Amino acid sequence: MSADDFPGLSPGAILGILGGGQLARMLALAAADLGVRVHIFCPDPESPAFDVSAAQTIADYDDEAALAGFADAVDVVTYEFENVPASTAAFLAARTTLRPGARALAVTQDRFSEKTFIAGLGLEVAPFRAVDSLADLEVAVAELGRPSVLKTRRFGYDGKGQVKLAPDSDIARAYEEIGRSPAILEGFVPFSREVSVVAARGKDGAFAAFDLCENEHRDHILAFTRVPARVSPAASGAAIEAARQIGAALGYVGVFAVELFVVGEGDSERIVVNEIAPRVHNSGHWTSEGAQTSQFHQHVRAVCGFPLGSPERRGRVEMENLIGDAALRWRELLAEPGAHLHLYGKREARPGRKMGHVTRVWPEQG
């Protein structure tokens, strides 16, 4: 069945999810609230989502026999990560409804394609150049200058696959550090804040954006998200409108995030689009307690063809990621008034590993 023919589902339907990490786990919990059963497809037998799903398939993403059985067992398929192999997406899309569709994956899996797509919408991005050789990198550095950032075109997250080029950096060494992989060089953006829009789009074009949130990273990993973001109403509106444009241009169905830089201060603030995440997003975890509809419920609603819920915020909200052994604070956090603890059920705490998060909601200031 093609996505265009998809009639929408009812409670009791089966949602297939590619990937079994914490995002799939929280999607499965939200789906259960809506009477939707979940079937997880993941190669890792210790996937956190397995604990809360009705069915599981443990197989590699290129196992066509397993994929065919999975497609036959579910009513619609979504995914929790953007690096789903293109061949897997195509295989499933030919057999069942895939939401978001393969175009969103194709655009966002490659940083050069992504930047080109965003710029083509008339949205501002950092200046960038494609890098396929050391000679390309030398030319790109001459054009964009330093500081700048060298990034692999594919498979980068939480600071992986990128190297900052300072004025005294060894260019050849930086290229070796990313494995001489196809890359892009991005010019430096003198941002004052990092923000993101988490939004949902339905098959009918309905659009619902959560309030712009402000993000604080430590060691390239999201540490805190706070809402509302400390930006001007004009910048906030521009960010949400950018998300609306991106979702429409992709024909997107589901929840997605747009990460942006805020440049300037006060009346001179403007937004620069950094990247798109075609899935529920870490910076949207605050919505679980901080919004009328969580991003996870919203995604299930969208991909199943249910009406979208209200994204209205309940108050001032903070989300804190629990990285590595920070999850050992669980007893302290459970005793904290107003704190809402979410642990992901991962068996081993490692440095840099996301083990859980906590949200805090306060009344709006008068």
pLDDT given at position 164: 94
* C-beta separation of 37 from 306 below 8 A: no
Torsion of CA 222, 226, 232, 233, to 10 degrees: 110
Compute the distance between CA of residue 125 and CA of residue 274 in angstroms, rounded to an integer. 6
Angle made by CA atoms 203, 209, 212, in degrees to the nearest 5: 155
- Whose tokens are 């609230």? That residue is 33
Q: What are phi and psi of 16, to 5 degrees?
A: -90, 135
Helices within the chain (DSSP H only): 22-33, 64-73, 86-93, 102-108, 111-120, 134-144, 171-177, 233-250, 287-290, 295-304, 330-334
pTM comes to 0.95
Q: Which residue segments constitute the domains of the chain, with CATH numbers given? A: 3-98 (3.40.50.20), 127-187 (3.30.1490.20), 191-362 (3.30.470.20)
Radius of gyration (Cα) for the chain, nearest Å? 20
pLDDT given at position 57: 99
Q: Which amino acid is at 33?
A: D
Q: What is the DSSP string of 233-299?
A: HHHHHHHHHHHHHHHHHHT--EEEEEEEEEESSGGG-EEEEEEEESS--GGGTTHHHHBSS-HHHHH
Per residue of the chain (366 residues), give pLDDT as tens.
444 556 689 999 999 999 999 999 999 999 999 999 999 999 999 999 999 999 999 999 999 999 999 999 999 999 999 999 999 999 999 999 999 999 999 999 999 999 999 999 999 999 999 999 999 999 999 999 999 999 999 976 666 789 999 999 999 999 999 999 999 999 999 999 999 999 999 999 999 999 999 999 999 999 999 999 999 999 999 999 999 999 999 999 999 999 999 999 988 999 999 999 999 999 999 999 999 999 999 999 999 999 999 999 999 999 999 999 999 999 999 999 999 999 999 999 999 999 999 999 999 985
First and final C-alpha spacing in the chain: 52
Q: Which two tokens stand for residue 133?
A: 């050789």
pLDDT given at position 161: 85
pLDDT given at position 8: 80
Cis peptide before 48 (omega within 30 of 0): no
pLDDT given at position 1: 47
